[in-house]
Amino acid sequence: MKNINPNSLSVAFKNKELCTRSGTCVAVCPEDALFIGKDFYPEIIPEKCTECGLCANVCPGESVNFKELTQITFGHENVDDSFDGNVIKTFVGYSTDDKIRGGGAGGGVITGILWDLLKRKIVDGCIVTRMNPKQPYYGEVFIARTYEELLQSQQSKYIVIPVNAILKEIERLPGKFAMAALPCQIHGFRLLQKLDHPITKKIEVVIGLFCAAAMEPFVAIEMMEMRKVNHKEIINFNFRD
């Protein structure tokens, strides 16, 4: 087996505990040497790896340079160290669409914004998550292009989902896209922007979500086993409703 210098790879191959499993490294690999493996950690095909270092450069797991992130995102280096970060204005709201509002985790604001972007043809699709239709105790990332598909993405998923892995598919698709993602995932996207990677030109709107926790992929199955529920019989799974 080919030996790879771990310093040329994302943090998962050096210090697994720091890996956020954002999927950014998988998306950026030009040789398709990385893939999503067990428990959604990246795994490598050594024979394909050229040690280019791209995955290490876009990895959000090892450290966070807030000054650099502020420059990439806002065009200045005036870092606000408060919890809120760089705030221009704050609003409280909810979707005026009753179905979206009723199905949302907090008034359906994010889904409402994404639906408006689709309706007005500002974007052709939205990068969002849902529970896997075939294995509903796992989460998955997908591209929502319709109202009905956006409704599938509603509610919180307290489980690891490597959202940025789908950016590899986005790079090959025509059109513009919106992205609703967690801080670590957006951090990976900003690092792609720092490199002026072609993938980032496809993303027209980035919406950041708060992150309370992301449980291991196997936690839902373990919870069901504790309650003597056969997870293979589950047809629908929600963390909250």
**For residue range 91-114, what is the model confidence (pLDDT) as tens digits?**
999 999 999 999 998 899 999 999
What percent of the chain clears pLDDT 90, i.e. is strictly above it? 76
The CA distance from 49 to 187, in Å, is 24
| Res. 77: pLDDT tops 80 | no
Tokens of 236: 């629908």
pLDDT, position 81: 64
| Res. 169: pLDDT tops 80 | yes
The CA distance from 207 to 217, in Å, is 24
The CA distance from 157 to 152, in Å, is 12
In 10 A of CB 82, how many CB atoms? 8
The CA distance from 48 to 57, in Å, is 18
| Res. 66: pLDDT tops 90 | no
Place of tokens 């980035």: 206
| Res. 164: pLDDT tops 70 | yes
Tokens of 128: 């969002």
Beta-ladder partners of 36: 42
Instruction: Please tell me which residue, 153 or 88, carries the higher pLDDT value.
Output: 153
| Res. 217: pLDDT tops 70 | yes
**With bands split at pLDDT 50, 70 and 90, how would you rate the model's confidence at 238?**
confident
Q: Over the stretch 35-55, which tens digit does the pLDDT of each residue have?
A: 999 999 999 999 999 999 999
Q: List the helix and strand counts (H, then E) for the chain.
A: 9, 6
In contact, 141 and 161? CB cutoff 8 Å: yes
**With bands split at pLDDT 50, 70 and 90, how would you rate the model's confidence at 67?**
confident
| Residue 127 backbone phi and psi in degrees, to 5 | -85, 110
Q: What is the mean pLDDT of residues 79-87?
A: 70
The SS3 of residue 114 is: helix
pLDDT, position 83: 65
The CA distance from 238 to 157, in Å, is 8
Instruction: Please tell me which residue, 122 or 71, carries the higher pLDDT value.
Output: 122
pLDDT, position 1: 61
pLDDT, position 89: 87
| Res. 160: pLDDT tops 80 | yes
Angle between helical axes of 66-74 and 183-194 (0-180°, round to 10): 70
The CA distance from 149 to 138, in Å, is 17
What percent of the chain clears pLDDT 70, i.e. is strictly above it? 98
DSSP state of 163: G
